């Protein structure tokens, strides 16, 4: 699945979790919005969710994720797994075109419509068209700097914006 729509990055660093995203919304080769908010807080601000892909699909997935979090309030891995299972098996959900990054204080997950629930071993996860650029920058900054989690996310997203035409510098960053 290739999304040319955004960049979302989350990292765990020095006991903090930060997630950020750019604000660009593109339709084809046209920028239609530059200040979209693609990061949401759920469960009384204990869970951060970032999305890449079709906005309506992402909102539908966030609603489903929120319902799963209510069903399993202290168990993000179970909620993410149940979402992925529904997404893969539900006839209407299978058509949703988005990726979701979800984090809390303990876990980081990528959830996809193919049934993937992936937890990165290094705590760094990027999705969207600029995700790989942001991940590469974050890995270098985590290793070779004394920046905070939020500062690493910001600098990594700025680097991605310099490379990916579907990513801008209008950033929204949240920290747990």
Residue 156's region, left for phi above 0, alpha for psi from -120 to 50, else beta, is: alpha
Q: Cβ contacts of residue 47 below 8 Å, gap of 6+? A: 41, 69, 76, 102, 103, 104
Q: For the chain, how big is the Rg over CA atoms in Å?
A: 15
Domains of the chain: 7-171 (3.60.20.10)
pTM (predicted TM-score): 0.92
Ordered per-residue pLDDT tens for the chain, 176 residues? 444 578 999 999 999 999 999 999 888 888 889 999 999 999 999 999 999 887 778 788 888 899 999 999 889 999 999 999 888 887 777 777 788 999 999 999 999 878 889 999 999 999 999 999 999 999 999 998 899 999 999 999 999 999 999 999 999 999 99
Query: Active-site residue numbers?
Result: 6
Q: How high is the pLDDT of residue 57?
A: 80
């Amino acid at each position: 699945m290739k999304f040319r729509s955004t960049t979302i990055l989350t990292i765990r660093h020095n006991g903090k979790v930060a997630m950020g995203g750019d604000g660009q919304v593109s339709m084809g080769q046209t920028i239609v919005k530059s200040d979209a908010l693609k990061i949401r807080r759920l469960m009384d601000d204990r869970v951060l969710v970032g999305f890449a892909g079709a906005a309506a699909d992402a909102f539908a997935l966030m609603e489903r994720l929120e319902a799963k979090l209510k069903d399993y309030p202290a168990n993000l891995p179970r909620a993410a797994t149940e979402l992925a299972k529904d997404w893969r098996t539900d006839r209407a959900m299978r058509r949703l075109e988005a990726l979701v990054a979800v984090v809390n204080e303990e876990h980081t997950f990528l959830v996809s419509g193919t049934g993937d629930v992936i937890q990165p071993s290094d705590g760094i996860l990027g999705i969207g068209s600029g995700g790989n650029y942001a991940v590469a920058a974050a890995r270098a900054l985590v290793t070779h700097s004394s920046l905070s989690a939020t500062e690493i996310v910001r600098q990594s997203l700025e680097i991605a914006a310099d490379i990916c035409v579907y990513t801008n510098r209008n950033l929204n960053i949240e920290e747990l």
